[in-house]
A and B are shown apart, each in its own frame.
Chain A
């Protein structure tokens, strides 16, 4: 079967750095996405990795290792507004997105 694993919840301090991990087992791979979802709102796109390595976009970076079936999202200089759920999703061989359950990130002052 297809599976996306990520921690259910993480807590971090304002101004700090946090890394959210995602491991996947899917039928085929056509890219990995990270989305941010604030409570009661729709998911919004953060990043897309299809090749191994690190993609940096401002305070957010995303890393992919296809051989290990592993990705992480790195958030730097955390702000209170970063409190949200972070969803990992993989585009499988049929170009359908398989979603993880999401990691709820709690930022404390």
Chain B
């Protein structure tokens, strides 16, 4: 079982360009999340989706958009990248079991120049 996969592993992007970070899970989890992780700060929630067809804004949604056309895929799009979006991005999904464990993808390291 692959769990959660993310692509690309890393990317250097010119400011002003757009980019989509891909996230796919094969665990049939309903809820999925996008976080960014920056040095000295905790994981910060960008957007989430409780189930296919629905999305919501997290703590730091500006400059990002998401879609959830089906259960497995949850892409994150940067419409016009800025240097402050340089970060490591993690996608996660929730098992829905009694402990609400979140499973994380391997992350995408994005550098915006």
Within 8 A of A (CB), among B25-50: 33, 35, 40-45, 48
Q: Are B101 and A101 in contact (CB under 8 A)?
A: no
If A97-B45, A99-B43, A99-B44 touch, whether A42 touches B102 (CB-CB below 8 Å) is no
Q: How far is the CA of A96 from the CA of B102 in the complex (A)?
A: 11
Q: How far is the CA of A18 from the CA of B109 in the complex (A)?
A: 31
A108 to B: closest C-beta gap in Å: 23
Q: Which among B40, B41, B44, B106 is the interface contact of A42 at CB below 8 angstroms?
A: B106
Q: How far is the CA of A34 from the CA of B46 in the complex (A)?
A: 21
The number of residues on chain A lying at the interface, defined by a beta carbon within 8 Å of a beta carbon of chain B, is: 21
B89 to A: closest C-beta gap in Å: 11
Q: How far is the CA of A102 from the CA of B41 in the complex (A)?
A: 8
The closest CB in chain A to the CB of B40 belongs to A101
Q: How far is the CA of A43 from the CA of B93 in the complex (A)?
A: 12
Which residues of B lie under 8 Å from residue A98 when comparing CB positions?
Answer: 42
Which residues of A lie under 8 Å from residue B1 when comparing CB positions?
Answer: none
B35 to A: closest C-beta gap in Å: 8
Taking beta carbons and an 8 Å cutoff, which residues of B are in contact with A? 33, 35, 40-45, 48, 58, 90, 99-107
The 7 closest A-B pairs by CB, nearest first: A99-B42, A42-B104, A48-B99, A99-B43, A45-B101, A101-B42, A100-B42
